[in-house]
Amino acid sequence: MHDHDTTGRLASYADVLADQLPGTWTTTPLPTRDKGDPSHLAGLEELAERIWDLDLAAASLAEQPLQRAAVLSRPDGAQLALLDRHDADDGFLIAAVAPRALPDDAYRAVREPNAIALAGDPFLDAEAVAGDLLVRYDAALAEVRHNALGGTQPSQPDRLVLTWQPDGSIATAPAGETAGPILTAAGFVQDPHTGIYRLAAHDTRAQARALRAIGPQLDALGISTALQHATTRAAPSTAPSTSPSLAARPTPTSRTR
């Protein structure tokens, strides 16, 4: 009964929190860890591998395997994982989830958007998530998608960078979800794994029309645009980072608190 109650509370909290966050979010509760059902275990372990954190969530996962979780998903591919806290305080942890199908090298030199602790009031907690975790997560996502594509420069919430690719297509990795519908309406196609929007090169006149169309619409939303050619990827910096699969299992000597 206790397990059922706590699982239901986590799922209900996730639903309310999702409604309070900016943009559109859907929630998916993961089944509780059940030794008799390997599929439940696989789903939780797969999520644990993708949690993008080297602090609170990583420490929690190192002490105790993931027992239950809820995943909040945004249409642009961003995901957040809601986890139980294993300390004296009531509430939850919420952590960023690394995108699927991106190479480990894409995460090199990108600082982890570490998890934050939530008190258990979804209305107040939503402000902390929107003003802290989501800001850092969107910035990290833009960097990783930039690294994955090579020459696509990361955008900012108020500046969309469009990059000519060697094959003649135009690619962009918008920060947040505001620009997405405008890009899609203009003919850009979003990669479901990387979140990068690409405008094909088969019709240059169509490309020009699309660029002329999105400019005024984005400008009306306070988003400027910049068009540039792909540049050579810079050498990795020394900023601390690991791939998400390693971040979920920090060793006692490497974890910092």
User: Buried b / exposed e across 159-172, counting CB within 10 Å, b at 16+?
Assistant: bbbbbbbeeebbbb
Is-above-0.95 flag for pTM?
Answer: no
**pLDDT for 92-116, tens place per residue?**
999 999 987 677 878 888 999 999 9
Taking 70 as the threshold, does the pLDDT of residue 40 lie above it? no
**pLDDT for 124-175, tens place per residue?**
999 999 999 999 999 998 888 777 766 556 688 889 989 888 788 898 988 8
Query: Which domains are assigned to the chain?
Result: 2-147 (no CATH), 150-229 (3.30.1360)
Largest CA distance in the chain: 63
Establish how many alpha carbons lie within 13 A of residue 101's alpha carbon, considering only the half-sphere containing its beta carbon.
8
More confident residue, 76 or 73: 73
